[in-house]
Chain A
Amino acid sequence: MKRLAPVVLMKNELAFTTRSFTIDTYLGEPQNLVRIFSELDAHEIVVINLGDLNSEMMKILEAMSKGSYVPLHFAGGINSASDAALVVGLGFEKIGLELRSLDLDLPKIQSIAERVGSTSTSASISVVCNNLGDYILWDWKSGTRSSIGLQEAVNALNGSGCGELKVNSVDRDGSGLGPDIKLASQVREFTDLPLVYQGGVKTQADVDFLWSLGIDCVATGTMLSTYGPHKAALAHYPLSDEMELRWR
Chain B
Amino acid sequence: MNRVTIIDAGIGNLPSLVSAFNRLDLECKVVSKPEDLKTTMLTVFPGVGHWGQATSRLLESGWSNAIQEYVQRGGNLLGICLGMQLLGRTSEEAEGLGLGLLPMSTELNEAHGTRVENLGWNRVHSPEWSAHDWLGVENGRAFYFTHKYSVSPLNPQQSKLLSTDFPGVIAAVQLDNVIGVQFHPERSGKSGLDLLAKVVEWAEA
Contacts and interface: CB of A to CB of B under 8 A. Distances in A.
Chains A and B touch (C-beta atoms under 8 A apart): yes
Contact of B120 (A90, A192, A216): A216
Given A69-B20, A117-B49, A93 B187 contact: yes
Interface residues of A, number: 32
B117 interface: yes
A36 B190 CA distance: 13
Interface stretch (A16-24, A59-67, A97-105): A59-67
B148 interface: yes
A214 B144 CA distance: 19
A66 B114 contact: no
Interface stretch (B11-19, B61-69, B96-104, B151-159): B11-19
B187 A120 contact: no
Given A1-B142, A65-B16, A194 B119 contact: yes
A154 to B, nearest CB: 15
Contact of A68 (B16, B114, B122, B147): B16
B71 to A, nearest CB: 27
A91 B186 CA distance: 10
Interface string A177-201: 0000000000000001010000000
19 contacts: A1-B142, A1-B165, A41-B190, A65-B19, A66-B16, A68-B187, A69-B20, A69-B187, A69-B188, A69-B189, A71-B187, A90-B15, A93-B144, A93-B146, A119-B119, A120-B146, A163-B117, A240-B190, A247-B123
Interface of B: 13, 15-16, 18-20, 23, 49-50, 113-115, 117, 119-123, 142, 144, 146-148, 165, 184, 186-190, 192-193
Given A42-B189, A43-B121, 18 more contacts: A1-B165, A3-B120, A3-B121, A65-B19, A69-B19, A69-B23, A69-B186, A69-B189, A70-B187, A70-B189, A93-B146, A117-B49, A118-B148, A119-B147, A192-B115, A194-B119, A194-B120, A217-B120
